[in-house]
Amino acid sequence: MYLPCSSGLRQVEIGPGGAIHPGWQTASGATGPPVIGGGAVWSIAIASGVLCALSPSNGRVLARITVGSVPHFDSPTLWDGLVLVGTMHGVTAIRPNA
C-alpha cells in the first residue's frame, strides 16, 4: 500500500493480523494520491507540477515529467498504456514506454 503524505509518498505493508509495517518514503517531492501500473508508482509533486514515476520496491525515482500547474489532490489516471494528468490547462497524456 502507498500513502500520500505531506512529507512525501510512503509505502506501508499490512502483515498477518493487520500489523502495519512502514516501508520506504520518497524524497522525490511526490505528495499526491498514488496509482500503480506500468511497473511504477505514479504520483504528482503538487507544489512543482512534476509527475514522478517511482520504483514500487524502494521508492527510487524512475522518471520525472513536468506537467505544469495542477489542482490540489491531483491524481494520475492510467488508461490504455497512458498516464493521464489533469492540469490547470487541460489534460496531459504521457506514454511511459515511448
pLDDT tens figures, 45-56:
999 999 999 999
Listed in sequence order, the residues at least 6 apart from 5 whose beta carbon sits closer than 8 Å to its beta carbon are: 25, 31
Q: Can you give the C-alpha Rg of the chain in angstroms?
A: 13
CA distance 42 to 30: 9
Q: Is the pLDDT of residue 3 over 70?
A: no
Q: What is the count of structural domains for the chain?
A: 1
At 16-75, the pLDDT tens digits run 899 999 999 998 989 899 999 989 999 999 999 999 999 999 999 999 999 999 998 889
CA distance 97 to 47: 26
- Residue 90, domain extent: 2-94
The enclosing domain of 7 has a CATH number of: 2.40.10.480
Count of residues making up the chain = 98
pLDDT at 77: 95
pLDDT at 98: 56
For residue 28, the 8-state DSSP code is: S
